[in-house]
Structure 1
């Protein structure tokens, strides 16, 4: 695999790029650009044709520097976490920064048949994976835990629906955690995703995964979706 991290010329930027991409790129924004290049232009490769290992490798190279991504890390103490959109990858992906309040986490959820790559930018997060429930008529069962892992700053992990479901939690009672997530294709934002009750396994469809902010600017009205 060829490492693609490099500064972009104006001709290579998006038609309507975030203001940060018009400036010389720091390592975080070089990563944003590189991920977009791997996914290709809007008329190029489909996300399904991209090897997720290339995305994992690019995100692993980056060393977290809070000064580079802090403008996107908008938090809200009234929420478990906030989903902050950084880039849309030529329409092929959503790259978001998630701020997890102390002691808070997500419900069990799927990923709408998309790839999900997660990198820890600050703190640590616990991931609990579950087997994908099997269709069994009206019978519902609690999701079965298959794996538990804790990831710390700069570690990267990957999940898709072929692996199963998961939930994410910030185990610290006093400190927030921050993570970066790449979803490709961005199905959850467009078509929704499913939550699963931890006790019964009941599935609930959420029409779309919303954002608390886009490109560093808070939205007036948001949906409190999950990643």
Structure 2
């Protein structure tokens, strides 16, 4: 994807979620996609629950990922539903681009730097595997932002890691996420130790329908 400049007047503000999806598919038909154009398109769409309520599936215990569109195989567009107090683990994005737009309520996005090795532990790993010996510093928080309804943010792995939280204990929240290219696995991190583990990226529902399989849950917080 490219961050080169473009002519903003060429964009047409989508009035519905269907318009947004059509515009995204058109943008991603190109071999070179402008991340600024995608971000501005998401900002120009004003959330309307009538557009997305069919995809909004909540769980009382965990936030849910609900697939809306697979974008010709070039991206995944999904609706995440956050109950009161729900949050994600600290995670990366598997070398993909991540856009997030708040559709209802507000969400806290906390960014972290990648884990750093503790220099005092060098030379103590002889004869042991990396998982057994890697001594990392506690993860450093870089920023903390509260995104209101229709707020948009962007992150990729070169910018660090993040955790998303619904900090309200009285209101739910809903967010629209676009990952490009799609990925099936990412890394989640323990804030205190910096250690990572792999987590599968699964969907609670697809296209508004719950799969007839064992319930799929997002990875547990570390």
TM-score by length of 2: 0.83
Whether the 8 Å CA contact 2:93–2:157 is kept in 1: the answer is yes
**Cα separation, 1, equivalents of 2:81 and 2:145:** 19
Answering whether residue 25 of structure 2 is matched by residue 36 of structure 1, we say yes
Task: Tell whether the 8 Å contact from 2:107 to 2:166 is kept in structure 1 after alignment.
Answer: yes
Cα drift, residue 5 of structure 1: 5.6
Gap change, CA 1:171 and 1:163, over 3 Å in 2: same
Q: d(CA) in 2 for partners of 1:51 and 1:133?
A: 30
Consecutive unaligned residues of structure 2, counting only runs of 5 or more, are: 1-6, 119-129
Classify the secondary structure of the residue corresponding to 1:178: strand
Asked if residue 62 in structure 1 is aligned to residue 45 in structure 2, the reply is yes
Count of residues in Structure 1 that have an aligned counterpart in Structure 2: 196
- Partner SS state of residue 150, structure 1: strand
Alignment of 1:211-226 (within 5 A): 211-220=203-212, 221-225=214-218
Q: Give the stretch that moved more between structures: 30-39 or 164-173.
A: 30-39
* C-alpha deviation, 1:223, in angstroms: 3.0
Bigger Cα Rg: 2
Offset, 1:77 = 0.9
User: Taking structure 1 as the reference length, what is the TM-score of the superposition?
Assistant: 0.82
Q: 1:122 aligns with which of 104, 109, 112?
A: 104
State whether structure 2 residue 136 is matched by structure 1 residue 140.
Answer: yes
Q: Secondary structure at the match of 1:162?
A: helix
Greater RCO structure (CA 8 Å; 6+ sep): 2
Q: Which residue of 1 aligns with 2:95?
A: 113
**What corresponds to 1:155 in structure 2?**
151
Over 3 Å off, 4+ runs: 134-137
Pairwise CA distance, 1:133: 2.2
Unaligned runs of 5+ in 1: 7-25
